[in-house]
Amino acid sequence: MPSSSSSFTIRHASSRDVGHVSDILTESFYRNSDYQVNFLQRCFTDLVYPLLRYGIMLDLGSRFDDKSSCYACLVATHPTNKFQAIASLEICMRYVPVKPYREFWLGRDMQQYPYVFNLAVHPQWRRRGVAKQLLLAAEKTVKQWGFSRLYMHVLEDNQPARSLYERIDYRLHSQEGMVNYWLLGRPKKLLLLKKF
C-alpha cells in the first residue's frame, strides 16, 4: 500500500525498520525537545538512553514476530533516503469504552476496536505533514480490516497533537486519568475517536 504525498512515502514496516523505529520512539518519548528538562534529567536520560532504546527494540520486534492479522506498523520515508524511517505509528486491537464520556454513568461497556499508538515523528521532520499522512494511511489500513472507526489517546496538554487530530476529524470520546489529574497534577488522557 505505498502512497506518496507531500514528498513522503508511507508503507508497512518490515523487520529491517526496527532499529530506525526504535530510534524515533526513544528520541520522541524520552528526549522530547518540545519540553524543557533540567540538566540532571538530561544527563540521566543520556545515561539510560541505550537501555531504553534496546527495550523498545525488543518490544517492537516481538510485535513484528506476533503476526496478528490486526496489527500494523506504518513508517514514513523521504526520497532523500527511502530506506530510513523518519516517522512511525502502530495500530492494534484494543478494548475501549463504547459509550462516550457523557454517558459514563450508564456503565463501562468495553469492546475491541482498532487503536493507534506510538505515533512519533523524528524531531528533524516535525510540522511538515508527515503525522497527518501516517494517520490517513492508518485509516485505509483499518478500512481494509473491515472497521469504520479508529481510536487513539492524546494528553490533554499536548496542544499541537490535539490540533492536528481535530483538523482530521478525531473527536473526544472519553477522558481518563482524572485521579492522577486531581492528586498529582498530571494531564488527563483523552480518548479520541474517528468514524469513517
pTM of the model: 0.86
**Identity at 117, one-letter amino acid code:** F
Q: Looking only at Cα atoms, what is the longest distance across the chain?
A: 53
| pLDDT computed for residue 116 by the predictor | 98
CA atoms within 13 A on the CB side of 83: 3
Query: What pLDDT is attached to residue 156?
Result: 92
Kindly state the helix (H) or strand (E) to which residue 96 belongs, with its residue range: strand 87-97
- Cell (9 digits) for 183: 492528586
Summarised one tens digit per residue, pLDDT across range 82-137 is 899 999 999 999 999 887 665 555 556 889 999 999 999 999 999 999 999 999 99
Distance of CA 80 to the CA centre of its chain: 24
Could you tell me if 132 and 125 are in contact, meaning their C-beta atoms sit under 8 angstroms apart? no
pLDDT at 64 over 60: yes
C-alpha cell at 175: 477522558
Q: What span, in angstroms and rounded, lies between the C-alpha atoms of 106 and 161?
A: 30
Q: What span, in angstroms and rounded, lies between the C-alpha atoms of 12 and 190? A: 27
Residue-wise burial string across 63-88, b where 16 or more C-beta atoms lie within 10 A, e elsewhere: bbeeeeebebbbbbbbeeeeeebbbb
Looking at per-residue confidence, does 65 or 184 come out higher?
65
At 167, give phi and psi (nearest 5°).
Answer: -60, -30
What are the extents of the domains in the chain?
3-195
Confidence of residue 2 (pLDDT cuts 50, 70, 90): very low
Element (H, E) at 147: none
Q: Which CATH architecture has domain 3-195?
A: 3-Layer(aba) Sandwich (3.40)
Nearest to 28 by CA among 193, 158, 188: 158
Average of per-residue pLDDT across 151-174: 95
pLDDT band at 4 (very low <50, low <70, confident <90, very high): very low
Reply yes or no on whether the pLDDT at 17 is more than 80.
Answer: yes
